[in-house]
């Protein structure tokens, strides 16, 4: 799942590469909203008060994303199913992670995840359960203007 969220590369160093972050988020949002109608995406944009960059663009991005995914893993690798839980549980994020402006259309689990660098979730949209139970943030964690439609769990 982390590979899909950073399909064009991870952040490296202290300075954030916002072009890389935007490119990764565009793919994430396209992947997460595939199968949604234009009306559903429009309603989601209004409810989230966000443009949700990339939402509804999966058909135009699919081939390039599959190629990038296979290059980073192997030719036999498959993209995760967007209807499955987004499960980052027990993941160690060693680099800064930028998921700002991302949309999570399924449950998003970050149970026992470790963020050893900054974590940016500003303006992210969580339409289902968002669970950060026992997640460890050792640097800054930015959830400014994040939208939670459902249960969000930040305990432990």
Give tens-digit pLDDT for 56-88: 999 999 999 988 888 888 666 788 999 999 999
- What phi, psi does 152 have (nearest 5°)? -130, 135
Would you say residue 46 has pLDDT above 90? yes
- In the beta sheet, which residues pair with residue 30? none
Which whole-number Å values give the CA distances from 85 to 5, 23, 74, 88, 129, in the listed order? 14, 23, 23, 9, 9
Query: Distance between CA 55 and CA 36 in Å, rounded?
Result: 9
Q: What is the mean pLDDT of residues 18-38?
A: 96
pLDDT at residue 72 in the model: 83
Q: What is the mean pLDDT of residues 17-23?
A: 97
pLDDT at residue 75 in the model: 64
Would you say residue 97 has pLDDT above 90? yes
Give tens-digit pLDDT for 99-155: 999 999 999 999 999 999 999 999 999 999 999 999 999 999 999 999 999 877 787
């Amino acid at each position: 799942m982390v590979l899909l969220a950073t399909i064009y590369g991870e952040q490296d160093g202290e300075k954030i590469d916002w072009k890389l972050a935007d490119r990764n988020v565009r793919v994430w949002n396209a992947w997460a909203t595939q199968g949604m109608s234009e009306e559903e995406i429009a309603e989601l944009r209004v409810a989230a008060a966000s443009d949700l960059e990339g939402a509804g663009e999966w058909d135009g991005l699919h081939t390039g994303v599959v190629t990038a995914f296979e290059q980073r893993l192997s030719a036999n690798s498959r993209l995760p199913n967007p209807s499955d839980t987004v499960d980052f549980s027990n993941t160690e994020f060693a680099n800064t992670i930028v998921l700002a402006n991302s949309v999570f259309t399924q449950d998003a689990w970050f149970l026992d995840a470790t963020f050893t660098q900054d974590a940016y979730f500003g303006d992210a949209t969580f339409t289902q359960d968002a669970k950060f139970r026992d997640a460890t943030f050792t640097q800054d964690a930015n959830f400014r203007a994040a939208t939670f439609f459902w249960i969000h769990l930040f305990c432990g």
